[in-house]
Structure 1
Amino acid sequence: MRIAEGNVSRGRHGACWAYPKCLTPVDWSFLIQHIVILQNLLAQDAVDANTMNNLDFDLHLDKVYKWTASSLEEKKTFIRCLRKLNHRFLAGSIAFVNVPSCAAEGNYFPCHRVWVFSIITIIALGTGEAESQEELHMYQEMSPKEAADVLKLMEEYEPLVNNSVAFAEQLSNDLHVLDEANLRAIISSEKQVTQLMSNIDEALAEVARVEETLQIYNELLGSVKQQMDHIHQENSLLHRIISNKTRLMDEILFLTTHLNLSREHCDALSRADLSSPSRVKACIAAAEALSACMNIQIHPGDRLYDREIKALFEQAKTFLVGRRKGSDSDLFASGESSPVAGVFPRFCAMNLSPPGTGSAGFLTCPMVSKQILEQVLRELQPLCTAEQQFIEKFFQLSHDAADLEVSARTELVEGYLILDHPGLLSEIFSCLEPELRGFLDICNKIHPFGCLQVLVTLNDSIFEMWDSSSALPASFLNTILGNMLLLTKNSFNKCIVSITRKIEETRMPSKLKGGILPSVSRFEEFVSFSEEVFRTAQRRRELDKAHLRLASSVFINSLSSANLKVNTDMVMMENFHHIHCFLCQKMIHCLEDKKIEAKQRYSEHMEKYIITYLGQPLEKLNQFFEGVKARVAQGVKEEEISFQLAYSKQELRKVIDKYPGKEVKRALETLYKKIHKDLSPEENLLPVVWHAMEQELIHQYQEFEDLIQRCYAGSGIAMDFTVEDLLSYFSSITVSNM
């Protein structure tokens, strides 16, 4: 019997045994509990006592089991191990047959637990009590130290080993004692754990105090930073003022030194006396001095505000459409001082950051452009006003009101006074108008209706300048803004023309199933956006004109029923109802007449729609009485109608018999489904139309009854249903479809 890890040998009767890879203490408990299996072993027969070369041997349990070892040495080792177990644990109860004493004797008893477990496994396999092969493979090999500890434990409890149940109970009791000892150790350390938790809580509280202190320090440092930034800005302004004063003084000294003409020269030139040689000589000297003054090369001025103005608009564009790589605004982010900070410090303090751009590269929020444009104009106004005041005062160019009326060229443009200021300021601010025009172009492209925001902003800015006490009566900036306003109005008019053309050229799809038309949706979109933009505007004359123009286009744009698969009156009814509700919500004064017209058009189309479908429930009755009314209109007396062959009493009874109450109700149910299919759920006009249909049908029924009473008096002819029946039909259909 060859013993090796994982090896499986089979007996003649198909039984097998397996040797585990490792044996844990739990497995030893299993082994001890099952060692009683050895008590069932009656004899071990080596089959042949004369020769041990035979690899077969028998185990006598409930019956004889025959086994074959893998080698002779393995067979001898197995017999010696089994004999030792018989001597130690079973008091020699197993009989060894055909086993020579030399094979059974010897001190060899393998301390390795593989042999012990192998014997128990073989016995268990023989009796059918062994675990399955897969379960046996779960056991793993123990180390020699573990095996020695188990043997020591078995020797310590040797009296109990023969009784596996008592041995297992003793081990369980010992385990319980160890658990109690562990529990006592944990309880004894509870005070230390509590102290540790208390220390942790104190540490967390201290950390919170430190964080609070750091927060206070950060706030203090933030205040100090703001103060330092303010001081830095003030210092920058002071340095700029000192630099400007120095340069101005140098220029003044240069002009006063080189352009000075003495009093004598002035007198000689003014008298122009050439009567004597001395006076001729004085005139020549004065003329030469004057010529020298005129030929002095004056230092060319620097296009003075160009850099600052361009930087202002560049940064405004950055806020508006995002930063472009390589632009001047990238320099500002690198820590260098912005040129805008010198002349326009308030713009740098705007609470705006460069936003993300949409798919078209522009902002998705159109109101931001209005805020930035307002801030740009607020920055330019004091600069241009201060420069204009200085020039007029320094060069004594100011005029009173009477002089302005005579000398200034004025132009009245849509209620705005535009003054053509002398070209000195135009040279100083030469880049202002082109930069402003380019910036307004971008503002117009931010949103399809961006020109509305520019129009409102420019209007309000001009009105604010007129109301401002610091503004000049002939403001240069006001002239620039007036020019920009004219361009913006032109853009606004082009926008309205484009929207109007789209509304008028709208082509309805042939498979239109009702609902709100695209032209109506486009009109509402413009009105909603423009009203929000002009909500605080001081002037809205241009917007009122645009509203009236677009509303007229929407109302005139009729539908052609040739290519539509739905009722045209139904579509127009829903759309005019939608427009009426929209105008009631907006309450726009200039569109009050259009609101009334929309309600009227809505009622007209609903009446046409009802008349179109009203004849369907009582179609033949309707045709019959239409013929009766036509005969009466032609001059036939009412009492003679029954003598007409086509409108006799018999024909009337035939028509009435075709419309019993059940058929009328069924026809009304079909009509309700048709109306429900036609109308769109967004407008919720089904209850209104159904109620109007009910009133009109009752009116028609009463007209039929009146014609019967007047034209067929005394005939006893009456319809199969009454007005109360009609009311019941309509109510039942309404309730069943709720």
Structure 2
Amino acid sequence: MTAIKHALQRDVFTPNDERLLGVVHVAKTGKKRKSSFLCASVTTEHPAEVYICKIKKQEKGEPYKKQKIWHLKELKAVDGKDPDKDITEFDLIFDKCFKWAASSVSEKQTFISVLWKLCRRYLPKQMKVNFTNIPESIKEVSVAGTDNQRTAGGSAAGDGVEGDYQALASQEESDLERMIAECDYAISNAEKFSEMLSSNLSVLDSENISSIMGSEDQVSELMTLLDKALVEVNSIESRLDAYNDMVQSISGQMGQMKNQESFIQITNKNHVTLLQELDKLVLQLDLSKGHIKALNEGDLRVDSGIAACTSAAEALQHAMQVELHPGICRLQAVVEQQKLFEELRQKFAKRLYHFLFELFTKYGNEQSSNNLVRQSDNLKLPKHFAYHRDLLPYKDLTLWLKVADKTKYMQLCEIYTQSLSKVYSREITGFIESAKQRFIEKAAISMQVGNAALEAASASNMSLNTIGQEKKLKLGLKKKLGSSSKNLSGSSSSLSKQHKKFLGSTQSLNVKGVGKKLSKVVGGKKNTLGVSTESLAASDFELSDREKFSSTFREVLNELEPACQDEEAFLVKFFHLNVETADTLLPGGSDDEEDDTEQGAAKRKQYQENQVTKDIRRMMTEIFSVVEKELIGFVAFGERLDPLNSLNMLVVIGERVANARQDNDGSFLAKMLGKSLIEVKRSFDNLIKYKVSAVRQAHLSKSKKCGILPFVIDFEDFAELAEGIFRDTVRRNDLEKAYKGLIEAVFDAIERLAAESQKTPREVVLFENYHALHDCLSRLKIVGLEHERKESKAKYNHNLKIYVTTMMGRPLEKLSTFFEGVEEVMANGVRAEEVSFKLKYSKNELRKCVKEYSGKDVKKGLETLYHKITKHTKENDNRLLRVVWQYMQDEFLQQYKHFEDLIEKCYSGSGIKLEFTINDVLQYFTDIALNQDK
């Protein structure tokens, strides 16, 4: 351990001008023990500082390194664990407790002894370190050693804590050197030097004794002076005792005076405090005569009276909400004043309730008795701004009533909703009725046209093969029935009766029914031409009418939305439906542990917001109870007029719902529009389902050619209309889903009807209709149907190629048979130049075949082929016919070139050629097309 101590002194403490006083080899208590050294050191400079440090031995680099350093002042306690047992564990307590285990008991006791000495020497008395569970032997030895050192030699005692080394002071060192220099033999003859020192010591002792003996007289004189001093001290003490007796007699009197003065001060202070409390109480519980008069007699019909009553009500509420000590509340004057306040509160609350009750009831009755002027060209809902403006001055009084009498406040809310509900119900009902009047005249004419069409079709037994013919018939009949429109443009009451007649329970204006009747008359069977009833409906309800309905629907929403928003804003402002005035207690009371936390505050706020939203929605639902019913009825009215109206309605109301939810998802307007949107979406889905069903049920007439199928034309019309309505709207996804189901049904129906077609070849039906679909999808550029566009193009090209190949067949039959045999011979290994030596395929045989096909015969065969193609495609325009004829030309030229290539290859030099050239063929095709078009 001595070697370690010297190494630590040399490597760690000497470079820092410190001296190592104690060291112990320790390890932390626990499973993993890492050894280190605890050292106690003192600085060499003055004043000295004592430190306790933890040193760890490094594996590489520096051999030792300080890990932790504490000043001795930071040490609070030392615990030796058990003074009766030899254990190595001990604790040092600084800002926290550090548990150590020494390598041996002796090292532990030595280090604790060093700490004890350092604390006794360098720490002041007030900074006492608590040493517990330390053997008393260590403390006694340490105390004794410390006392001896202090007696013997000042700072040397402190410096020599362990006793194994004591440094000389500078004066001692100089005296020793001088003495050794005077005695040259001090080192060579130690005995002689010792004898000399002994003799010098004897001489000094004798001189000291002589000096003491010489000072005896002085000592006697000093003792005499001390005796005199004692006499004077006794005299002073007696005088002080006399003074003390005198002061004690006065002390009692002064104490009594002090207690009396203190009592007077306390009494005065209590009087002042009592006066202040009384003044405060009187001011808080005082209500001026003017306020009392305003509460009892204030005129609520004028602005000055409203302001006076509002001020008085606020003063009364403030006085009633003053927090008083429970003892003060038992005072008779306070009880009487509070009773007065309660009477004033009840009386004014009743008076205010009856006044507002009369206002609400009067307005509801007056508005209900007025006649609503219906304007079919200018749809406008009556505004209630003036009524709201007249009521807003009472909003502060309404807030007072909400706080003072919640029951009357709730009753007042109910009265207001009932009165305004009657007003809005009549106004909105008439408003929606006016919107419907715009279309009743048109619908009546449409019904008469439909009935006339049925009668005309039955009488003439004519065949309506296309939608265009039906339109012409109805337009002609409309002119004849022009006078009937005058009979339908009478008063609003007569129109209303006609509206009920045409659009009532029988739904006689349902254009689907008209379409069904027409289809029965025309074909004898339901949906004979494969035309959906929506297509027939579109002919009755023209595009301009559909746009007019869309515009009217927007006008209706433009009027309903501000009415709902203005009324809701007024309710929030007048009835104070906000979080600040909402009930602050959560369900179940306010004793939750979370109330004082952020989570509790957020929970309360969320509950208050939900309560406010429910109150607003409840009042709005009661006031506008008729809005949802009327709006859904108007949606149904538009659907009956024309099912395609659902497209415009879905887009219009979808945008309104999105905007309303963005502004306030929980508002009445958002919920009301959301329910209407569900109804419109149902109407739209029914339209798509019916279209899909009509496509799947479509079938062909056995006596008619096919051409472009009606449902393909209907899909094109629907897609054009829908794209114009839904492009870049929020409801685009609904249309994309509808497209998928509808186009799938169209594809399946085309394939099915093409297979059933008897008058038109299957390939013609396919490529004609797929060409029409591809043309429609390419023109409209519907992103969601890009795959279907490519598929329709592929099917169109595939079936067109099959049709051309089938129709072209083998126009030069014998030549085709001859050259097929040539190709077969060549495939069996015969070289091309040797084919002509075969008897069956000789040059003479080839010349015979060539002579049978003159240019005139070829042209005649092509003319026959053109007639067949024209017959198959006559239901379409000439553009598609020209495309097919061009494909035919390419196919014929391909066969011609193939024949020429075989002749050149197998019969080279024979001079055999076809009697017509490629230019002749091109001319034949051109002449045939031009002549037929003429």
When normalised by structure 2's length, the TM-score is: 0.42
CA distance in 1, matches of 2:604, 2:866: 77
Aligned to 1:481: 673
- Does the alignment pair 1:391 with 2:571? yes
Aligned to 1:610: 804
Aligned to 1:63: none
Structure 1 pair 635/518, CA: closer, same or farther in 2 (3 Å)?
A: farther
**1:265 and 1:285 in contact (8 A); partners too:** no
Q: Which moved more, 1:477-486 or 1:436-445?
A: 477-486
**1:573 and 1:605 in contact (8 A); partners too:** yes
CA distance in 2, matches of 1:628, 1:252: 117
- Taking the TM superposition and a 5 Å limit, the aligned residue runs for 1:57-72 are none
Letter in 2 for 1:443: G
Number of positions where the alignment pairs a residue of Structure 1 with one of Structure 2: 461
Structure 1 pair 634/431, CA: closer, same or farther in 2 (3 Å)?
A: farther
CA distance in 1, matches of 2:304, 2:665: 30
Structure exhibiting the larger radius of gyration computed from Cα positions: 2
**1:269 and 1:283 in contact (8 A); partners too:** no
Higher normalized helix content (fraction of residues): 2
Q: CA deviation at 1:476?
A: 2.2
Match of 1:691 among 886, 908, 927: 886
CA distance in 2, matches of 1:569, 1:544: 29
**1:313 and 1:439 in contact (8 A); partners too:** yes
Structure 1 pair 546/717, CA: closer, same or farther in 2 (3 Å)?
A: same
Aligned to 1:460: 655
Of structures 1 and 2, the one scoring higher in RCO (CA 8 A, sep 6+) is 1
CA distance in 1, matches of 2:812, 2:572: 90
- Does the alignment pair 1:378 with 2:558? yes
Structure 2 unmatched ranges of 5 or more: 1-299, 351-404, 445-486, 497-508, 515-536, 581-601
CA distance in 2, matches of 1:284, 1:647: 135
Letter in 2 for 1:542: D
Match of 1:491 among 677, 683, 692: 683
CA distance in 2, matches of 1:408, 1:657: 104
RMSD value, Cα = 5.2
Q: CA deviation at 1:520?
A: 0.9
**2:712 and 2:773 in contact (8 A); partners too:** yes
**1:322 and 1:357 in contact (8 A); partners too:** no
Aligned to 2:246: none
Aligned to 2:859: 665
Aligned to 2:776: 582
Aligned to 2:735: 543
Structure 1 pair 252/481, CA: closer, same or farther in 2 (3 Å)?
A: farther
CA distance in 2, matches of 1:530, 1:510: 33
- Taking the TM superposition and a 5 Å limit, the aligned residue runs for 1:159-174 are none
Letter in 1 for 2:707: G
Aligned to 1:507: 699
Q: CA deviation at 1:464?
A: 5.8
Q: CA deviation at 1:678?
A: 2.1
Q: CA deviation at 1:437?
A: 1.1
CA distance in 1, matches of 2:325, 2:567: 35
SS of residue in 1 equivalent to 2:625: coil
Structure 1 pair 686/332, CA: closer, same or farther in 2 (3 Å)?
A: closer
Structure 1 pair 636/504, CA: closer, same or farther in 2 (3 Å)?
A: farther
Per-residue deviation, residues 626-670 of structure 1 (Å, max 9, x unmatched) = 454455556665456557776565654443343233222221221
CA distance in 1, matches of 2:615, 2:689: 31
Aligned to 1:451: 646
Q: CA deviation at 1:452?
A: 0.2
Per-residue deviation, residues 452-471 of structure 1 (Å, max 9, x unmatched) = 0111211333456579xxx6
Per-residue deviation, residues 666-708 of structure 1 (Å, max 9, x unmatched) = 2122122222222225243233322332222112111012123
**2:777 and 2:789 in contact (8 A); partners too:** yes
Letter in 2 for 1:423: R
- Taking the TM superposition and a 5 Å limit, the aligned residue runs for 1:405-416 are 406=606
CA distance in 2, matches of 1:332, 1:271: 75
Per-residue deviation, residues 174-200 of structure 1 (Å, max 9, x unmatched) = xxxxxxxxxxxxxxxxxxxxxxxxxxx
Letter in 1 for 2:687: C
Per-residue deviation, residues 567-595 of structure 1 (Å, max 9, x unmatched) = 22223222233334434444445445544
Aligned to 1:99: none
SS of residue in 1 equivalent to 2:758: coil
Structure 1 pair 375/623, CA: closer, same or farther in 2 (3 Å)?
A: same
Match of 1:431 among 618, 621, 626: 626
Structure 1 pair 254/653, CA: closer, same or farther in 2 (3 Å)?
A: farther
Q: Which moved more, 1:270-279 or 1:376-385?
A: 270-279
**1:660 and 1:721 in contact (8 A); partners too:** yes
CA distance in 1, matches of 2:604, 2:654: 24
Structure 1 pair 613/313, CA: closer, same or farther in 2 (3 Å)?
A: same
Q: Which moved more, 1:697-706 or 1:587-596?
A: 587-596
Q: CA deviation at 1:377?
A: 0.9
Match of 1:679 among 873, 880, 889: 873
Aligned to 1:517: 709
Structure 1 pair 638/556, CA: closer, same or farther in 2 (3 Å)?
A: farther
CA distance in 1, matches of 2:927, 2:306: 99
CA distance in 1, matches of 2:692, 2:771: 21
Structure 1 unmatched ranges of 5 or more: 1-244, 335-355, 411-417
**2:568 and 2:616 in contact (8 A); partners too:** no
- Taking the TM superposition and a 5 Å limit, the aligned residue runs for 1:179-218 are none
Aligned to 2:723: 531
Match of 2:815 among 614, 621, 624: 621
SS of residue in 2 equivalent to 1:604: helix
Q: CA deviation at 1:385?
A: 1.0
**2:706 and 2:757 in contact (8 A); partners too:** no
- Does the alignment pair 1:307 with 2:426? yes
CA distance in 2, matches of 1:537, 1:603: 35
CA distance in 2, matches of 1:655, 1:247: 119
- Does the alignment pair 1:700 with 2:895? yes
CA distance in 2, matches of 1:253, 1:331: 51
**1:273 and 1:283 in contact (8 A); partners too:** no
**1:266 and 1:286 in contact (8 A); partners too:** no
**2:328 and 2:334 in contact (8 A); partners too:** yes
Per-residue deviation, residues 259-303 of structure 1 (Å, max 9, x unmatched) = x99889878999799999999999999999999978877684323
Structure 1 pair 386/642, CA: closer, same or farther in 2 (3 Å)?
A: same
Q: CA deviation at 1:381?
A: 1.6
Letter in 2 for 1:579: L
**1:370 and 1:453 in contact (8 A); partners too:** yes
CA distance in 1, matches of 2:622, 2:328: 41
Structure 1 pair 706/382, CA: closer, same or farther in 2 (3 Å)?
A: same
**1:409 and 1:420 in contact (8 A); partners too:** no
- Does the alignment pair 1:731 with 2:850? no
CA distance in 1, matches of 2:903, 2:305: 114
**1:320 and 1:363 in contact (8 A); partners too:** no
Letter in 2 for 1:612: T
CA distance in 2, matches of 1:508, 1:731: 35
Match of 2:917 among 712, 719, 722: 722
Letter in 2 for 1:453: N
Structure 1 pair 627/429, CA: closer, same or farther in 2 (3 Å)?
A: farther
When normalised by structure 1's length, the TM-score is: 0.51
Structure 1 pair 422/627, CA: closer, same or farther in 2 (3 Å)?
A: farther
Q: CA deviation at 1:611?
A: 1.0
